[in-house]
Amino acid sequence: MVQHHGVHNLEKKQEKLKINQSNKNDILMIIGPPSTKSTFDNDVYIYIERKTSSSKLRKLGKKVLLVNNVLILDINQKGLLVKKEFYNKNDMNKINFDDQETSADYSKKSFIYNFFSTLRQRIDDPRGIKRTKN
Query: Could you tell me if residue 26 is inside a domain?
Result: yes
Per-residue confidence (pLDDT) for residue 19, from 0 to 100: 92
Q: What CATH number is given to the structural domain containing 77?
A: 3.30.1450
For 59, the domain range is 2-94
> Is residue 105, in this structure, part of any structural domain at all?
no
**Chain segment 75-97, per-residue pLDDT in tens:** 998 999 999 999 888 876 666 66
Instruction: Give pLDDT tens digits for 40-85.
Output: 767 899 999 888 887 666 566 677 888 888 999 999 989 999 999 9
Number of domains present in the structure of the chain: 1
* In a domain? residue 116: no
Count Cα atoms within 13 angstroms, Cβ side, for 85: 8
In a domain, 38, yes or no: yes
Decide if 31 contacts 14 (C-beta within 8 A).
Answer: yes
Q: Is residue 106 assigned to a domain?
A: no
Q: Is 109 among the domain residues?
A: no
